[in-house]
Amino acid sequence: MSGAQRQALFESRAGWETPPNFPGSDVDALMYAKLWENPCWFSFRLNYLALHFNNPVYGYIQQHLGLLRPEFVVLWSLYLGGMSTPTEVVRSSGFPKNTLSRATTSLDRQGMITRQTDPDDQRRITLILTEKGKQAVERAKGIMIGHERLMLDCLSPAERLSLSEIMTKLVTASGGWPQSIDEDQARNIDVTP
């Protein structure tokens, strides 16, 4: 076992030699392995939790508002941040540019956003949330907050603050991470300590 794998497994167990048993947890053998024997513990846990938010919440949004996830991501971005360029929405969401381009075209056709061209630079477009788009976000906002609160209910207030700080640190560092890994990069990835 490499030093990097040994360190990853130590981190996956939060430093415990033997994994803890959390009260009320129902962990089968496969989940146990993914939680405690997984050198890629971070990506597993992050994706697992994201799916437990995204599937029910965006399923509700699609069923009740008729919006696909990328479309709602654009609306939510504009709702939180005000008018923005498509590049800013891409950068803050992690979605590919072409996916959000299709979403903005659809939202514009639905009257949920408008596009405003910069008179000084015809290439620069600003996206603006319409009242119809704002109403759609506000219909889903309570569901989103409620589901997130449910997911965080097992944490103390102090743990929530720590989690928020750690997640923010990771998100702000993500700009330096590669968006793809080619064969040369794969050969040069060093997993030794």
* pLDDT, average across residues 12-29: 72
Nearest 5°: phi and psi at 127? -100, 135
> What does the radius of gyration of the chain's CA atoms come to, in whole angstroms?
21
Query: What domains can you pick out in the chain, each with its CATH number?
Result: 68-156 (1.10.10.10)
pLDDT over 90 at 57, yes or no: yes
Cβ neighbour number for residue 175 with a 10 Å cutoff: 7
> Rounded to an integer, what distance in angstroms lies between the CA atom of residue 191 and that of residue 85?
38
* pLDDT, average across residues 37-58: 93
Q: What tokens were used for 1? A: 């076992």
Binning pLDDT at 50, 70 and 90, where does residue 23 land?
low
Which of 82, 80, 92, 90 lies closest to 127 in space, CA to CA?
82
What predicted TM-score, i.e. pTM, was given to this entire model? 0.84
Residue 169: its pLDDT value, please? 94
Q: pLDDT tens digits, residue range 152-171?
A: 999 999 999 999 999 999 99
pLDDT over 80 at 30, yes or no: yes
> Contact, 8 vs 39, CB < 8 A?
yes
Share above pLDDT 70 across residues of the chain, in percent, rounded to a whole number: 94
Residue 113: its pLDDT value, please? 98
Q: Hey, which bits of the chain come out as E strands?
A: 113-118, 121-129
Q: What is the mean pLDDT of the chain?
A: 89
pLDDT over 80 at 16, yes or no: no
Quote helix, strand, coil % in the chain, to nearest 5.
Answer: 65, 10, 25
Q: pLDDT tens digits, residue range 89-127?
A: 999 998 999 999 999 999 999 999 999 988 888 788 999
Residue 79: its pLDDT value, please? 97
Share above pLDDT 90 across residues of the chain, in percent, rounded to a whole number: 64
pLDDT over 90 at 24, yes or no: no
